Structure 1
């Protein structure tokens, strides 16, 4: 059985802030917004409640959280434990072509509102179940306030945030169907939360792998992408060498990866076969985009499962694995990608 970690609001007003151009100084006015509630108010007798009941959010209304999940700023509030946490990494300052992925966490949450998983509407015929059927406690942990000016600091912030969430105690399930997933793989023999990260350019995986290594040791990676992302670091400084195209090579140099990782959906331009040869030294095998036409979805799934085996694995999905005709805003588009339906079928086959 594959064990996978993935990279897939009550609002509180506390003040008004003015951010200066450099983003380094902030003045905040604090307001006391605590109000006394009249104990004589009978909500059940008021016009709205007596006629219509609860103030339920619609798919297109309410505070923004992933699929209408409960929302907490988990990095500063540990009051709500969770089995699976969702965290946003709004970061895009190591891209080589088109930036904008910092808006990814917001866009993913906005697009997820139609699902209403937090309201129990998650059953699909394809899966024959709903995410809530598996008994895990789900929580949207908000976004990490990542520096947009200092990449070294930003990468450290992401590692610190991910490590913080990994160290939290799990909720332990919402029903008897819940099963522990991570205890068997963790170095300390404890159950740890699983984290779904919303990016963000693909460099976010490096600090995530660093955080996972502290808990699980080296892990394998299932990498859905049009690009290898294993090119050797280049540049005149250490930080310049860490980009969305080199982070896996850096991770391998740091001993964060096993030698049993795999790409899926590769179709990028390369310098030559030497890129594939170097990719092999980083620990990856390649499934190209065209392989799905030659061998079919089932064979693609079988190859991925065979490569990973029963080892702990991190799954990373770059939106550019999908054809740019369906995902045109991606930062590094490559024609001829998989369809969303094909990617969903493969993911289901890995479950």
Structure 2
């Protein structure tokens, strides 16, 4: 098999215009396998399980398109991500539009193909239902992991429209299937009106720590960051970020927007603040570019992915010093 050049870095805007892009995240190389990589970007363009606006199937494409704006140096962490990590874009999972269970099988298979090479998977969704397929693959490799969940919704419904599998149910199923350890998991940012007034208490009954937005504001972000670290500890962690965590003034392009959320900077600060957790996976979901203006939502999503990768690079840098 032809050997890939893992040292090749993305073209810079000084040598190649940003609009000369073949559709890869940050103009990284497109690989067919995760072998030899530290992290792999892949898309899950599925939105059949969304309950209001559809369009998140175009999220991976939208995030990749604007990710050409990202450069490889993170000045806050003082790290060049590709000096310490090898990464590539593996393309998209061939989902089955309209059929969630066959799609879950394909997500699990694709994610497993990354994990088997001891490579960290980074998925671009898709609606939030896709995370269940990722977690099935993650748990087969690592056992129950800690879930670090940024969202305006808890996604712990038992059913939506009488169905067990929907973007509002993945973490209820993940607990039932033993994919996550709820006692070492945390949900942050829930807000807005509810059908079930006891939803936050339901999270507690399932063993989850849930910090709704009004409590986040009372605590302050530094205290929330410390609570996340305390809850997860040294446990292996999967970070899932629903873009509707951010206020629609900053991220309008999402399926179920909720007002009263967070700024772009606050979202980035939170990811930076928990960069030292023991991560085994990450996804960002619910970006629906059709509702965007000036690509601001997709741009934020690309930056959040970059910040997550920067944290991985910082961990590697610290270990090497």
How does the TM-score come out when normalised to structure 2? 0.77
Tell me by how many angstroms 1:272 deviates.
4.1
1:124 is matched with which residue: 70, 74, 77? 74
User: Secondary structure at 2:231's aligned position in 1?
Assistant: helix
CA distance in 2, matches of 1:235, 1:290: 29
CA distance in 2, matches of 1:291, 1:276: 12
Residue of structure 2 equivalent to 1:99: 54
1:230 is matched with which residue: 132, 138, 156? 156
Residue of structure 1 equivalent to 2:222: 298
Q: Deviations over 1:137-176 (max 9, x none)?
A: 10110111111032211111111111111112xxxxxxxx
- Comparing both structures, which one devotes a greater share of its residues to helix? 2
Q: Deviations over 1:207-248 (max 9, x none)?
A: 111101110000110000000001113555xxx310111111
Which sections of structure 2, spanning at least 5 residues, go unmatched? 1-13, 276-321
CA distance in 1, matches of 2:272, 2:193: 29
CA distance in 2, matches of 1:87, 1:146: 12
Matched, 1:63 2:22: yes
1:205 is matched with which residue: 119, 131, 134? 131
Residue of structure 1 equivalent to 2:90: 141
Residues 306, 265 of structure 1: CA spacing in aligned structure 2 closer, same or farther, 3 A cutoff? same
1:154 is matched with which residue: 103, 128, 141? 103
Shifted more, 241-250 versus 290-299: the winner is: 290-299
CA distance in 2, matches of 1:193, 1:338: 31
Measured on the aligned residues, the alpha-carbon RMSD in Å equals: 1.7
CA distance in 1, matches of 2:30, 2:267: 28
Matched, 1:345 2:269: yes
2:175 is matched with which residue: 246, 252, 265? 252
Q: Deviations over 1:319-345 (max 9, x none)?
A: 000001111110000001101100111
Contact 1:233/1:250 (8 A) holds in 2: no
User: Secondary structure at 2:74's aligned position in 1?
Assistant: coil
Which sections of structure 1, spanning at least 5 residues, go unmatched? 1-54, 116-120, 169-191
Q: Deviations over 1:74-109 (max 9, x none)?
A: 3xxx6x531100110000000111110000000110
Q: Deviations over 1:21-59 (max 9, x none)?
A: xxxxxxxxxxxxxxxxxxxxxxxxxxxxxxxxxx94322
User: Secondary structure at 2:189's aligned position in 1?
Assistant: strand
CA distance in 2, matches of 1:102, 1:286: 28
Residue of structure 1 equivalent to 2:250: 326
How does the TM-score come out when normalised to structure 1? 0.71
Contact 2:111/2:137 (8 A) holds in 1: yes
CA distance in 2, matches of 1:150, 1:330: 21
Contact 2:160/2:166 (8 A) holds in 1: no
Matched, 1:109 2:64: yes
CA distance in 2, matches of 1:59, 1:290: 40
User: Secondary structure at 1:112's aligned position in 2?
Assistant: helix
Residue of structure 1 equivalent to 2:191: 267
Matched, 1:82 2:32: no
CA distance in 1, matches of 2:268, 2:119: 24
2:164 is matched with which residue: 241, 250, 254? 241
User: Secondary structure at 1:141's aligned position in 2?
Assistant: strand
CA distance in 2, matches of 1:274, 1:294: 21
CA distance in 2, matches of 1:299, 1:130: 28
Contact 2:53/2:255 (8 A) holds in 1: yes
Higher Cα Rg, which structure: 1
CA distance in 1, matches of 2:99, 2:107: 12
